Copies of this chain bind each other. A is one copy, B any other.
Amino acid sequence: MSVANSFDRSTIERIVRQIVLQQPLAGPARDDGASSQPDVVISISARHVHLTNEHVEILFGPGHTLTPMKPLYQDGYYAADETVMVVGPRRRMLPTVRILGPTRSASQVELAFTDSISLGIDAPVRHSGRIEGTPGCVLVGPKGVVELKQGVIRAARHVHMNVRDAARLGIQNGDNVKLRIESPSCTTVFEDVLVRADETSKLEVHLDTDEGNACFLDAATKVELLPLGTACGCATQQ
């Protein structure tokens, strides 16, 4: 019986899956009317790589720069045309992992836990950029190879927003909030969602594919971002 390799995930996984649902009033009492209730975008990031300019040139050739393929929800960010092979220990590998732009000051590989098991890399849960002491891997591009000494992480849950969204929710940069996603037979509350608030970001939660699959995000009917000190409604739901 002829069967193809079932695991070329790059052909069957989207780079980003998203749902957009309205955030119900969850912060402190307000007098500014229902119109200010923000939409919440939940984005599931498939595994991806961030690169330095130097590593782009090693992997893709001198003078090469990333080619934007698809804009991401946050302004200025994009999925690039370019992909690399990520190689772990014992010759396990992920053949085509998408690069996200723009380039950064340090290269970083973000995996879901399922991916890290596949690769045989014990990737710790870290927030982006906090890669001190994390495992490394080998990146293989069409023109060269880079050995990362560190930088393989499982990206910790977080939510981007601007400081005005944060104020409306009664929270601030660096807080942890809870995210409750209601979906058929799979309703889930994610705690430990770090708030990353600045002047310009749009309200967007980042989960990984394991988290998105666990809560059956594609079928979600309701989402709530809940500040600390707020019960998640779990005692009265169902």
Instruction: State the Cβ distance, A148 to closest chain B Cβ, in Å.
Output: 15
CA A99 to CA B184, docked complex, whole Å: 28
- Is A59 positioned at the interface, with any CB of B under 8 Å from its CB? no
Query: How many chain copies does the complex carry?
Result: 2
- Is A210 positioned at the interface, with any CB of B under 8 Å from its CB? yes
Interface size class of A (residues with CB under 8 A): 35 or more
**From B187, B210, B235, contact of A231 by CB (8 A):** B235
Contact mask A111-140 → B, CB, 8 Å, 1/0?
011100111100001000000000000001
**From B4, B112, B114, B157, contact of A92 by CB (8 A):** B4
- Given the contacts A140-B1, A191-B237, A125 and B91 also touching, CB distance less than 8 Å: no
Instruction: State the Cβ distance, A218 to closest chain B Cβ, in Å.
Output: 9
CA A176 to CA B211, docked complex, whole Å: 21
Contact of B184 with A191 in the complex, beta carbons under 8 Å: no
- What are 30 residue pairs bridging A and B, where the CB atoms are less than 8 Å apart in the complex? A3-B91, A4-B90, A4-B91, A6-B7, A6-B88, A6-B92, A6-B94, A6-B119, A12-B92, A12-B118, A12-B120, A113-B214, A114-B213, A125-B184, A125-B216, A156-B185, A187-B192, A188-B214, A189-B189, A189-B191, A189-B232, A189-B234, A191-B238, A192-B238, A210-B213, A228-B238, A229-B235, A230-B235, A231-B234, A232-B234
Contact of A234 with B191 in the complex, beta carbons under 8 Å: yes
Contact mask A141-172 → B, CB, 8 Å, 1/0?
00001000000000011000000000000000
Given A3-B91, A5-B5, A176-B238, 5 more pairs with CB closer than 8 A: A1-B140, A6-B7, A6-B94, A157-B185, A157-B186
A182 and chain B: residue at smallest CB distance: B191
Within 8 A of B (CB), among A194-237: 209-211, 213-216, 226, 228-232, 234-237
CA A120 to CA B12, docked complex, whole Å: 8
